[in-house]
Amino acid sequence: MRIISPGGIELEINEKGYVVDREKFDWFYLNKSDADVEWECDVKHLLIEEGRVRGVEVDKDGNSKEVRADTVVLACGLNSHLPDEASLSPIRYPSDIAWAMEAVVEGENIGEGEYFEYFVGSVAPGWKATFSPLGGDFASAGVYVRRVGNPSDFFSRHMERLRKAKGNMKIVEVFEGGDPIAAMPWKLVGDGVVVCGGAGAQSGIMYGMRAGVIVAESIAQGDLSLYQKRWERELMREYKLGRKALNMLMEMEDEDIDRFARALSDFDFSSLRGNPYLKAFRVFMHILKKDPALILRLI
Ligand SMILES: Cc1cc2nc3c(=O)[nH]c(=O)nc-3n(C[C@H](O)[C@H](O)[C@H](O)COP(=O)(O)OP(=O)(O)OC[C@H]3O[C@@H](n4cnc5c(N)ncnc54)[C@H](O)[C@@H]3O)c2cc1C
């Protein structure tokens, strides 16, 4: 990937990246499952009896029915009423959800670049603007913004800059949604119910999948409360560090982000090892050596 500062300083991180076809991905796991799966049901309500969630009321092809279960896993993404029905507050800082507008775009050879590109700074306050080659004439382009309302103006400006830099491209399909990357998971477990994935601010597909595994293990051991404890022990520090870094980025002026990028332009990101704190510490020490005045400005 390439991280690009507002002034155009590029930091290259030579890690492999992948684009996931979400529909095929979902079907892949659905086909692998040997469980009794009913697909494309609309869950209308939770069945709650004496304060405990006992199942769900679903609608399929206009027919309503009850499905009873010892544990209900709410992996319903953002914007669902279901966690509220379970009296859970799975997201700690809902006002910090990044609102995203992303499009598949088409233009001559625009999908042939080698790097995913992430633009930071006032181009997308609070998170990032992206350009990801998809091969051939296709790419995806998006903006993710926090605490500035609707992303559409940022998206239009981002597209304008991309067209200037990479040539004409037309929008094929637009997606809008929320990414709770800095919104922090909170209360994920209730009586007979857990929240998992985007619905619990466990943003990122890999993180949502890991949360799913921890849920399954906790159910197998007959104690749902293990899910919250194990998830926090394994990942909470990473999320806290991520939120701190994104909040710092949001408060930085474009010129400070440029200074930050300049100080890191000779840093070998592939040499980073160890836990996220150790990595952050090494980056911090490098900037301290290169531009101590910047560190003083930022802390
Ligand atoms: C524009 C955008 C780009 C992103 N890019 C990346 C990326 O590059 N890499 C990455 O790792 N993450 C990315 N994310 C985050 C990633 O999409 C989420 O972390 C992930 O999709 C969460 O998966 P999930 O299954 O928990 O929720 P979702 O993907 O939101 O899926 C929830 C599903 O539940 C269904 N549902 C909701 N309510 C009901 C109901 N009542 N009854 C039945 N079904 C219901 C929904 O229809 C949906 O299919 C991006 C997010 C956005 C918005």
User: pLDDT value at position 271?
Assistant: 84
Looking at the structure, do residues 123 and 269 belong to the same domain, yes or no? no
User: pLDDT value at position 275?
Assistant: 78
In a domain, 42, yes or no: no
212 Cβ closer than 6 Å to some ligand 1 atom: no
Closest CA to 173 of 23, 2, 63: 23
Lookup: tokens for 155: 């998206």
- Yes or no: say if 66 and 53 are a contact pair by the CB < 8 Å rule: no
Of 118, 152, 179, the residue at which a domain comes to its end is: 179
What residues have CB less than 8 Å from 260, skipping those under 6 apart? 5, 252, 287, 291, 294
Residue 267: which domain range? 248-298
In a domain, 226, yes or no: no
In a domain, 91, yes or no: no
Looking at the structure, do residues 16 and 115 belong to the same domain, yes or no? yes
Q: What is the CATH number of the domain that holds 10?
A: 3.30.9.10
Of 140, 158, 179, the residue at which a domain comes to its end is: 179
In a domain, 204, yes or no: no
- Yes or no: say if 251 and 245 are a contact pair by the CB < 8 Å rule: no
* Number of domains the chain is built from: 2
Looking at the structure, do residues 9 and 138 belong to the same domain, yes or no? yes
Beta bridge partners of 74: 195
Half-sphere exposure of 215 (CA within 13 A, CB side): 22
Of 155, 179, 203, the residue at which a domain comes to its end is: 179
Distance 184 CA to ligand 1 centre (A): 16
Looking at the structure, do residues 108 and 9 belong to the same domain, yes or no? yes
Cα angle: 63, vertex 69, 73; to 5 degrees? 95
What residues have CB less than 8 Å from 248, skipping those under 6 apart? 298
User: pLDDT value at position 35?
Assistant: 81
- The whole-model pTM stands at 0.91
In a domain, 15, yes or no: yes
- Yes or no: say if 92 and 200 are a contact pair by the CB < 8 Å rule: no
In a domain, 116, yes or no: yes
Distance 77 CA to ligand 1 centre (A): 5
Closest CA to 151 of 194, 97, 210: 97
Looking at the structure, do residues 9 and 104 belong to the same domain, yes or no? yes
User: pLDDT value at position 151?
Assistant: 97
Looking at the structure, do residues 166 and 291 belong to the same domain, yes or no? no
- Cα(207)–Cα(9) distance, integer angstroms: 30
Looking at the structure, do residues 9 and 157 belong to the same domain, yes or no? yes
User: pLDDT value at position 279?
Assistant: 83
- Choosing from 205, 214, 235, 238 the residue with most ligand 1 atoms within 8 A of its CB, the one to mutate for a pocket test is 205
Looking at the structure, do residues 11 and 157 belong to the same domain, yes or no? yes
User: pLDDT value at position 63?
Assistant: 94
User: pLDDT value at position 22?
Assistant: 86
Could you read off the pLDDT tens digit of each residue along the chain, which spans 299 residues?
999 999 999 999 888 888 888 889 989 988 988 888 888 899 999 999 999 999 999 998 899 999 999 999 999 999 999 999 999 999 999 999 999 999 999 999 999 999 999 999 999 999 999 999 999 999 999 999 999 999 999 999 999 999 999 999 999 999 999 999 999 999 999 999 999 999 999 998 999 999 999 999 999 999 999 999 999 999 999 999 899 999 999 999 999 999 999 999 999 888 888 777 778 888 888 888 888 888 888 77
Q: How many CB atoms lie within 10 A of CB 92?
A: 16
263 Cβ closer than 6 Å to some ligand 1 atom: no
